[in-house]
């Protein structure tokens, strides 16, 4: 199922607006969206009603490890361990949280080359699947290591957080194990952009672009 179809199934009043915001933030992937907290989504510009509807829908589905598409509903009585997995599919109970980005992305990233993952799209080019996955993985692992919500300067990141970050990266994409310096540089650029984005939101310099809406229209 396409990502927009997923949003349509959430009961949102303005699917186009929500899609525009999530696409701009590169959150147009169910596996990545699932790992975002309510605060993360609110900071992107979604409204609480929209966030609640999306979260409720995410609790009802499972995600294939590689593509982030909808597959089947959760069983009515999940296993006693709280969650379970089968090859290619990650399943969630109503109470458990998925913790390791590496397990979500491993199916696709394990076969990717470092050149494909670390390459950058041109200014007017559409990013490749590998490029988008790498950006999402960077953000996901940074969030897991506590580096995303309040993005620090690279020089201030303690070693224990670096260890956690690169452990997640290497688990998801083993081909990057010998490219930590390049990964570190890309993370630094991403954190700089994240800090600027947060400053712009706080000062009102950045305004959310809303497709198909006027300034006076509101949604849930």
Q: Return the pLDDT at 181.
A: 94
Summarize pLDDT for 8-32 with one digit per residue, the tens: 888 888 888 898 888 888 787 787 7
In this structure, what DSSP letter does residue 171 have? H
pLDDT (tens digit per residue) in 128-160 = 888 888 888 898 889 888 998 889 999 999 999
Average pLDDT, whole number, for the chain? 74
| Least confident stretch, 99-103, 140-144, 194-198 | 99-103
pLDDT, one tens digit per residue, over 57-77 is 888 775 444 444 333 333 334
Q: Is the pLDDT of residue 86 over 50?
A: no
Domains contained in the chain, CATH given: 3-60 (1.10.150), 107-205 (no CATH)
Cβ neighbours around 190 below 10 Å, total: 17
Average pLDDT over residues 190-206: 85
CA distance 197 to 193: 6
The pTM score is 0.53
Q: Cβ–Cβ contacts within 10 Å for residue 65, how many?
A: 18
- CB 213 within 8 Å of CB 14: yes
**What was the pLDDT predicted at 115?**
92
For residue 189, what pLDDT is reported? Answer: 92
Beta-sheet pairing, 83-86 with 63-64: unpaired
């Amino acid at each position: 199922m396409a990502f927009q179809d997923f949003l349509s199934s959430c009961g949102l009043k303005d699917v186009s607006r929500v899609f525009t915001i999530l696409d701009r933030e590169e959150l147009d992937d169910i596996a990545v969206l699932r790992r975002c907290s309510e605060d993360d989504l609110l900071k992107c510009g979604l409204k609480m009603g929209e966030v609640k509807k999306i979260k409720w829908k995410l609790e009802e589905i499972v995600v294939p490890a590689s593509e982030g598409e909808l597959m089947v509903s959760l069983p009515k009585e999940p296993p006693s361990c709280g969650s379970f997995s089968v090859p290619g599919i990650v399943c969630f109970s109503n109470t458990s949280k998925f913790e390791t980005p590496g397990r979500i992305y491993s199916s696709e990233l394990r076969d990717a080359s470092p050149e494909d993952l670390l390459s950058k799209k041109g200014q007017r080019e559409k990013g490749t699947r590998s490029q988008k996955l790498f950006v999402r993985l960077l953000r996901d692992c940074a969030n897991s290591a506590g580096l995303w919500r309040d993005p620090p300067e690279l020089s201030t990141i303690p070693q224990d957080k670096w260890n956690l970050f690169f452990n997640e990266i290497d688990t998801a994409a083993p081909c990057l194990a010998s490219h930590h310096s390049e990964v570190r540089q890309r993370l630094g650029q991403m954190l700089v952009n994240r800090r600027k984005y947060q400053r712009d939101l706080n000062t009102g310099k950045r305004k959310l672009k809303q497709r198909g809406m006027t300034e006076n229209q509101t949604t849930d």
